[in-house]
Structure formats: structure tokens, C-alpha cells
């Protein structure tokens, strides 16, 4: 009957309208401003047409609807608050028209219903979901620093218990249809082929549907918001939320406020309360930074937008790994998981077999959880073979070296790999610190050599830092990107330099913590300062995890390589002292921390045994130093040509070492604070803490041109 660019409407002989979302030119159904206008007109016409007995909302795509187009959400944040408020009110008006029209509206959910898509479905009088376990229903806005803005905070806790509704919104974690049914979020799960028939039945059985919260005497599923149980719940939820986000994400308290206050009001007033908070949250730099990096940036990286154009996509059938330690075994697991055959080489059969044990342990765990069938586990294991002979690697499409972090060992291995491979096969190193250009001396055709820096544990950490040497060809780089896609990893693309980007910057955080301790700062304050900034761990805990003998080894290697250019970091002596006390860090159950108890404790004797003075350094100064040093080191990576783009700096910092996601990443945070402010901080700290804080060239450029990292791309 009617067809628009966003949906079509058919009316059957019983007067039941089927509104089928199918946004043209998009893989998913989303609300854009023109789509909202068209939807408003359609709903007005349907509800005013006496011949229409009810409306089914469904989708012609694999997804049902995923809500607001994020492009719109991001541009919206730059518009005046009243314009934004009006758009939200438009949507709320449409959804209220559906609810109060007296005509039954049924959501026939045949794919993911997320964000505004679920909010639309919750505005229907019933929700039927196709019996497809892969379907998810959720309100993921908080993951991008936003809050549900089309009624989610008001309708969800009017449909399901607060104890379930609040975590769903705060974490953004979706539920599957079965869970949704048990919570009361949906009315039924039906076979996919019967979805429309069942929806029509529902309409016929409920010719005059009234939304439950519009009925007299409506009671919240969790009872009065003022009950002692609910009051207690809100106190706990607020404390928990603060603990999780450190108070850095405005959307989190805004969700709690909207629910708490909104549930005391009629739905209409609750929706207005939500809208006001949504506008505040959407206009905050936190949400725009998070959307930019964690949605657009991540999508771009995963779609390989920065891959060199030209070379054909490389298909990887067999991957070779040399070194079956923590990293080699992890890479082998990930490749086998992606359907790639793997040949793992180590010095002895016994050590090579560690890769099999690693995979088999993870497969058993997945099977125990029901995530993997026996058949799949068997197929996975069959893809991994082990060897001690280099000749067996000859058929691989790529070989990744993951042996000890020692140049001599790597030289020996790379020469042997080089000797058996055809000239075009890529050779990669997983080194975390040794310059790739230096390692490329050990292969006959350095243009086919590249760094592929995976993170530990490989199966969990999504990032791969691709490092080109001075000689790496663009074909090799393009194919390294292709491998990341095959292995389902997010690539960032950097140039060579000591410790590249991620290791270099996280090391600066770690050593700054040590320098603060060496000056006499309280170690408890140092660690808490890191956590308060939103870092996943304090700097001393990071040092223990990396292991202090490795920290000192890397430092000695740098000293040997850099000669006169080497400057000892004021924190490094503490790592040496601990190593001499046989406190190597987490692996020896003793370092800056003691690991005898379940929760690691800072070593009580730390200051006394390391002979550091007592000094009063306040927490704000500590925070400023821990944060500024990461910015300075990032800017130096731009100076050195290691970093090519701000986007890679952002993604690498969040996925690589857990730089606080609410900032949108380290480059985004430099832009948010403004180059001028960062420059002032540098000058202050250069005077008080040392020349490592002297403003980098890139920062001076940003200040003099009054610009940002993102706009200089």
C-alpha cells in the first residue's frame, strides 16, 4: 500500500497493517531524521484511520531495528540543546501515539532489537520474538557514553524488575529471547515462520489494547520506588556504578537518576525527565569522544580503511608460528579458531606441544560452557600441528616469530625461517620492543618482513599493532592487514621505533609510577591515582605484571643500543633493586606487591627496603604526572613518525593498555584538554619533575597553529 525509503506498509483483509522496516542503502534499520519524519506521518495516518484494526511492526532485514543512526547522534551533539530536545520529543510523541491510540501495536521481532529499536518495541502493546537464539535485545547506549533517550529508562523498569533493568542499562549487555521472556520483557517466543500469524492473532484477541502503565492502578514490577528494598537497591546500584566507572561517565548517574525520579511520575513526565538528561549527556564530550573512537574509529579499523589500496586481498590457509610460549600458543589458538591451519615450531617436541596443550585447555573450557561442540573442538585441534624442523614451514602463507625477546635468539630463528620460505612469503615478528628494521637485517628480502605485535592473552585481547620497518613493502603491509581481518583482530598501523607505540607509552606510565615512588610518594596514593584516572591498574601493578627482570633487561638493551643518547629513567633503579632482592614481580609472587594473599597487597616494606625518602606528593600532582607522561610519550611518537594517525593512537591506547575509554583514547584526550592546557602542564612538570616532560615538537605545532590532533590528519 505504501512504500518509503525506510519502511513499507501493507494492510490485510482484516484491516491489520504490517509496517516493515527496510531502510534502503543500509545493512541495518536505523532512525535518521528523515526516517523519523516518515514514521511520524505513517503512525499518525494509521492511528487516525478507522479501517485499521491494529499494527504489526517488523523488519525485512536480518536485524529488527538498532535505533538511532549514530552518525545522527554524533552530529546532534553539536546542535543547540533545544533542537536536540525537540527531536527527542518528536520520537516520544510518536511512541506515545502508538501506546495511547487504543489500537493494538505488536512488535514482531525477527532480529536484533537494540537501543531505539528495543525502545520502539517496548512502546508496542506486545512483543513476539522469533525462535532464533542469536537474536539479542538490549539497550547498549552506555557502552558509548550515551543513555537510552527514546523512553528506555522509563519503559524497561515498568516492564521488568529494577534488579534486572538497571544492570541491563548500565552495562549495555543484551539478553537473548529466552532470558527476555523469563524477565517479562517479551510476551512470547514463536517459530519464525509463524511470527506474523501469531502477531495477527494477538491483535484479534486484543482489539482494544491499553499499555499497562496507562491502566489505572498500574504497579511497578518491583513495587514502589520508596519501598525499603528499592531504596536499598538504589544506594547499592549508585555505589556499584561509581566503582565501575569512577564517576567519569555522565550517562551512568543520569540513567540512575532518570529511573529513580521518572518512576515516581506518570510516564509522560518521566519521558520528559529522561529527555532532559539525554540532552545533557549527548552534549558532553565524553559521549562524543566515545562514539568517535569506539564506534566510528573501531568500525573503520575493523573494515581496514587504512589498508594500502592496490594489493589483492590475501587468503591465509596456513600460518607458521615459531616459539610455543605464551604468545606463540595464543596466536596458534586464534588462527585455528579462525579456521586457519597452523604449524608450530619450537626447539623440542615437548616445548612445541605446549601450543597443543594451550588450545586444548581453552577448548575444554569452552565445551564446559556449552559454547563449542565436541566436533568443533576436534576440528580446532586437528588444525594445529607441531614440529622441530624448519622445512615443515615451507608451505605456510606467513610465519610469525614469537621466541624469547633476545636479538641473538631471534637472529638465529629468522635466518632459518628465511632459508626455507619462498621469496614472497611474509615473515613477521611478535617482538614488543626490538626495532623491526634491525630484525629485518636477518632476512634476505626485508621488504617482506613486518612486526605483528599481539597482546596477551591473545585470544582475549582484540588489538594487533602492525609495525612497518624502513624496508617493509606496501604489499606486505596490506597483507598484514588482511591477516588481522582473518584472525578477527583490530589492527593499528605504526612505523618502527624502539618499543613502537603501545609498549612505549604504557612503559612511560609504569616508570613514572616508579619515579614517583623513588621521590618518596606514598605507593598507595600512586596506585590509587592511576585507578582514579580510570586506568585498569596502578603503574606499580603494571610493572609487576610485565615482570621486573624484563623491565630491567629491556632498559639494559636500550642502553647498549642507544649509547650516549641513553638517559636513565629515575624510576628504573627501583626495578633493579627489587630484582636484586629476587622480587621479579607477579611471576615470582613478589615485586612491588606481595602475591601470597588472594588479593595482591603492596609490599609493606617497600619504602624501607628500597630506601626511598618520605615526601609529600599530593594525589592531584601524581594524577597529573601519570596522565601527562602518557600524552607526552604519544606526542613524541608523532614526532618520531611512529604514529601515523590520531585514530590509531586512540584505538591502540584503549585496546592496547586500557587507557580510559571515556576519553575516546589518548589523542582524543589531548584534543579535549586542548593543546594549550597540555602544554602548560608539560612546562609545569618539566620544572618540577624533570625534562622528560618537556613539550614535544608536535605539541608546540598544535599550540602555534591552534589546532587539534584529529584535525591535523
Helix (H, G, I), strand (E, B) or coil at 362: helix
Select from 327, 466, 478, 575 the one that contacts ligand NAD (CB under 6 A): 327
Site for ligand NAD in 342-381 (CB under 6 A): 345-347, 351
CA 9 to CA 60: how far, in whole Å? 12
All three cell numbers of 89: 520529543
Nearest residue (CB) to ligand NAD, 170 versus 494: 494
Tell me how far, at minimum, the Cβ of 324 lies from ligand NAD, in Å.
5
Q: Please work out, in degrees rounded to the nearest 5, the angle formed at the alpha carbon of residue 108 by the alpha carbons of 106 and 109.
A: 130
Nearest residue (CB) to ligand NAD, 376 versus 587: 587
CA 500 to CA 670: how far, in whole Å? 20
Nearest residue (CB) to ligand NAD, 305 versus 409: 409
Tell me how far, at minimum, the Cβ of 546 lies from ligand NAD, in Å.
8
* Eight-state DSSP code of residue 647: H
Neighbours of 32 (CB within 10 A): 16
Span near ligand NAD by CB under 6 A; candidates 112-120, 370-378, 401-409, 484-492: 401-409
Tell me how far, at minimum, the Cβ of 415 lies from ligand NAD, in Å.
11
Select from 77, 230, 293, 431 the one that contacts ligand NAD (CB under 6 A): 431
At 450, phi and psi to the nearest 5? -155, 160
Nearest residue (CB) to ligand NAD, 204 versus 389: 389
Of the candidates 326, 649, 679, 331, the residue with the CA atom closest to the CA atom of residue 488: 331
Tell me how far, at minimum, the Cβ of 411 lies from ligand NAD, in Å.
10
Per the CB < 8 A criterion, the answer to whether 352 and 344 are in contact is yes
Tell me how far, at minimum, the Cβ of 554 lies from ligand NAD, in Å.
9
Q: How far is CA 497 from the centre of its chain?
A: 26
299 near ligand NAD (CB under 6 A): no
Q: Fill in the per-residue mask, 544 to 583: x = in contact with ligand NAD (CB under 6 A), - = not in contact.
A: ----------------------------------------
Beta-carbon contacts of residue 217 (< 8 Å; ≥ 6 apart): none
Span near ligand NAD by CB under 6 A; candidates 76-84, 404-412, 463-471, 557-565: 404-412
Beta-carbon contacts of residue 487 (< 8 Å; ≥ 6 apart): 334, 335, 338, 340, 464
Q: How far is CA 214 from the centre of its chain?
A: 39
Beta-carbon contacts of residue 164 (< 8 Å; ≥ 6 apart): 183
Span near ligand NAD by CB under 6 A; candidates 89-97, 246-254, 425-433, 513-521: 425-433
Nearest residue (CB) to ligand NAD, 285 versus 431: 431
324 near ligand NAD (CB under 6 A): yes
* Eight-state DSSP code of residue 3: E
18 near ligand NAD (CB under 6 A): no
249 near ligand NAD (CB under 6 A): no
Q: Exposure of 408 by Cβ count < 10 A (0-12 exposed, 13-18 middle, 19+ buried)? A: exposed
All three cell numbers of 666: 589518548
Span near ligand NAD by CB under 6 A; candidates 313-321, 405-413, 585-593, 645-653: 405-413
Span near ligand NAD by CB under 6 A; candidates 48-56, 111-119, 340-348, 490-498: 340-348
CA 616 to CA 87: how far, in whole Å? 52
CA 66 to CA 17: how far, in whole Å? 22
Select from 83, 229, 232, 404 the one that contacts ligand NAD (CB under 6 A): 404
Nearest residue to ligand NAD, by Cβ distance, number only = 325
224 near ligand NAD (CB under 6 A): no
Select from 138, 328, 591, 652 the one that contacts ligand NAD (CB under 6 A): 328
Select from 72, 326, 377, 700 the one that contacts ligand NAD (CB under 6 A): 326
Tell me how far, at minimum, the Cβ of 350 lies from ligand NAD, in Å.
9
CA 150 to CA 159: how far, in whole Å? 15
Tell me how far, at minimum, the Cβ of 365 lies from ligand NAD, in Å.
20
Tell me how far, at minimum, the Cβ of 362 lies from ligand NAD, in Å.
16
Site for ligand NAD in 447-466 (CB under 6 A): 453-456
Q: Among this protein's residues, is 453 annotated catalytic?
A: yes
Q: Using CB under 6 A, count the residues that bind ligand NAD.
A: 25
Kind of pairing between the strands at 463-468 and 113-114: unpaired
CA 204 to CA 194: how far, in whole Å? 15
Span near ligand NAD by CB under 6 A; candidates 236-244, 291-299, 320-328, 624-632: 320-328
Task: Pick the catalytic residue from 125, 453, 471, 569.
Answer: 453
Tell me how far, at minimum, the Cβ of 534 lies from ligand NAD, in Å.
22
Tell me how far, at minimum, the Cβ of 453 lies from ligand NAD, in Å.
6
* Eight-state DSSP code of residue 39: H
Per the CB < 8 A criterion, the answer to whether 385 and 342 are in contact is yes
Nearest residue (CB) to ligand NAD, 11 versus 326: 326
CA 556 to CA 565: how far, in whole Å? 13
Of the candidates 490, 463, 491, 487, the residue with the CA atom closest to the CA atom of residue 477: 491
Select from 60, 83, 265, 409 the one that contacts ligand NAD (CB under 6 A): 409
All three cell numbers of 357: 596443550
CA 537 to CA 211: how far, in whole Å? 47
CA 566 to CA 287: how far, in whole Å? 41
CA 530 to CA 596: how far, in whole Å? 23
189 near ligand NAD (CB under 6 A): no
Q: Looking at the annotation, which residues are catalytic?
A: 453
Binding site for ligand NAD (CB under 6 A): 322-328, 345-347, 351, 402-405, 409, 412-413, 430-432, 453-456
Amino acid at each position: 500500500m505504501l512504500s518509503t525509503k525506510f519502511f513499507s506498509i501493507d494492510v490485510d483483509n482484516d484491516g491489520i497493517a504490517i509496517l516493515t522496516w527496510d531502510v534502503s542503502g543500509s545493512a541495518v534499520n536505523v532512525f535518521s531524521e528523515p526516517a523519523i519524519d516518515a514514521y511520524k506521518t505513517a503512525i499518525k495516518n494509521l492511528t487516525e484511520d478507522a479501517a485499521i484494526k491494529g499494527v504489526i511492526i517488523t523488519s525485512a532485514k536480518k536485524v529488527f531495528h538498532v535505533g538511532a543512526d549514530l552518525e545522527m547522534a554524533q552530529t546532534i551533539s553539536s546542535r543547540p540543546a533545544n533542537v536536540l530536545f525537540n527531536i527527542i520529543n518528536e520520537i516520544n510523541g510518536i511512541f506515545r501515539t502508538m501506546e495511547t491510540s487504543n489500537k493494538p501495536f505488536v512488535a514482531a521481532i525477527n532480529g536484533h532489537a537494540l537501543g531505539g529499536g528495543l525502545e520502539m518495541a517496548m512502546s508496542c502493546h506486545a512483543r513476539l520474538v522469533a525462535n532464533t537464539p542469536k537474536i539479542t535485545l538490549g539497550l547498549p547506549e552506555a557502552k558509548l557514553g550515551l543513555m537510552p533517550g527514546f523512553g528506555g529508562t522509563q519503559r524497561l523498569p515498568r516492564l521488568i524488575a529494577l534488579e534486572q533493568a538497571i544492570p541491563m542499562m548500565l552495562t549495555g549487555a543484551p539478553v537473548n529471547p529466552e532470558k527476555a521472556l523469563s524477565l517479562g520483557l517479551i510476551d512470547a517466543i514463536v517459530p519464525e515462520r509463524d511470527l506474523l500469524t501469531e502477531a495477527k492473532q494477538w491483535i484479534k484477541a486484543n482489539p482494544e489494547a491499553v499499555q499497562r502503565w496507562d491502566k489505572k492502578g498500574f504497579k511497578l514490577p518491583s513495587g514502589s520506588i520508596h519501598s525499603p528494598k528499592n531504596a536499598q537497591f538504589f544506594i547499592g546500584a549508585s555505589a556499584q556504578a561509581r566503582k565501575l566507572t569512577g564517576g567519569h561517565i555522565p550517562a551512568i548517574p543520569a540513567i540512575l537518576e532518570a529511573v529513580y525520579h521518572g518512576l515516581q511520575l506518570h510516564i509522560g513526565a518521566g519521558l520528559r525527565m529522561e529527555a532532559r538528561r539525554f540532552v545533557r549527556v549527548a552534549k558532553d564530550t565524553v559521549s562524543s569522544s566515545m562514539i568517535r573512537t569506539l564506534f566510528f574509529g573501531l568500525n573503520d579499523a575493523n573494515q581496514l580503511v587504512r589498508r594500502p589500496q592496490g594489493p589483492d586481498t590475501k587468503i591465509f590457509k596456513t600460518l607458521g608460528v615459531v616459539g610455543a610460549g605464551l604468545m606463540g600458543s595464543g596466536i596458534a589458538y586464534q588462527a585455528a579458531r579462525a579456521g586457519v591451519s597452523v604449524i608450530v615450531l619450537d626447539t623440542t617436541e615437548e616445548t612445541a606441544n605446549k601450543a597443543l596443550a594451550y588450545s586444548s585447555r581453552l577448548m575444554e573450557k569452552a565445551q564446559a560452557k556449552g559454547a563449542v561442540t565436541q566436533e568443533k573442538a576436534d576440528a580446532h585441534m586437528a588444525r594445529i600441528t607441531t614440529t622441530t624442523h624448519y622445512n615443515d614451514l615451507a608451505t605456510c602463507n606467513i610465519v610469525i616469530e614469537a621466541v624469547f625477546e633476545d636479538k641473538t635468539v631471534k637472529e638465529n630463528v629468522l635466518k632459518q625461517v628465511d632459508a626455507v620460505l619462498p621469496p614472497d612469503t611474509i615473515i613477521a615478528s611478535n617482538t614488543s620492543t626490538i626495532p623491526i628494521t634491525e630484525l629485518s637485517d636477518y632476512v634476505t628480502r626485508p621488504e617482506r618482513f613486518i612486526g605483528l605485535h599481539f597482546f596477551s592473552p591473545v585470544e582475549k585481547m582484540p588489538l594487533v599493532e602492525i609495525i612497518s620497518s624502513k624496508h617493509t613493502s606496501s604489499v606486505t603491509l596490506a597483507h598484514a592487514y588482511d591477516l588481522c581481518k582473518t584472525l578477527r583482530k583490530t589492527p593499528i598501523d605504526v612505523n618502527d621505533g624502539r618499543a613502537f607505540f603501545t609498549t612505549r607509552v604504557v612503559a612511560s606510565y609504569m616508570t613514572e609510577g616508579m619515579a614517583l615512588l623513588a621521590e618518596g610518594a606514598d605507593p598507595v596514593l600512586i596506585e590509587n591515582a592511576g585507578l582514579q584516572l580510570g586506568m585498569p591498574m596502578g603503574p606499580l601493578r603494571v610493572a609487576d605484571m610485565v615482570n621486573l627482570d624484563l623491565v630491567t633487561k629491556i632498559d639494559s638493551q636500550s642502553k647498549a643500543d642507544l649509547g650516549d643518547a641513553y638517559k636513565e629513567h629515575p624510576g628504573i633503579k627501583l626495578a633493579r633493586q627489587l630484582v636484586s632482592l629476587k622480587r621479579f614481580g607477579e611471576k615470582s609472587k613478589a615485586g612491588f606487591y606481595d602475591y601470597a594473599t588472594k588479593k595482591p597487597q603492596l609490599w609493606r616494606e617497600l619504602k624501607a627496603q628500597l630506601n626511598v625518602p618520605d615526601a609529600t606528593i599530593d594525589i592531584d600532582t601524581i594524577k597529573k604526572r601519570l596522565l601527562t607522561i602518557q600524552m607526552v610519550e604519544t606526542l613524541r611518537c608523532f614526532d618520531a613518525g611512529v604514529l601515523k594517525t590520531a585514530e590509531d593512537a586512540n584505538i591502540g591506547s584503549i585496546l592496547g593498555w586500557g587507557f580510559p575509554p571515556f576519553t575516546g583514547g589518548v589523542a582524543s584526550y589531548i584534543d579535549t584538554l586542548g593543546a594549550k592546557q597540555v602544554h602548560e602542564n608539560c612546562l609545569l612538570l618539566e620544572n618540577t619533575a624533570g625534562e622528560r616532560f618537556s613539550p614535544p615538537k608536535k605539541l608546540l605545532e598544535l599550540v602555534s597553529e591552534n589546532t587539534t590532533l584529529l584535525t591535523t590528519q
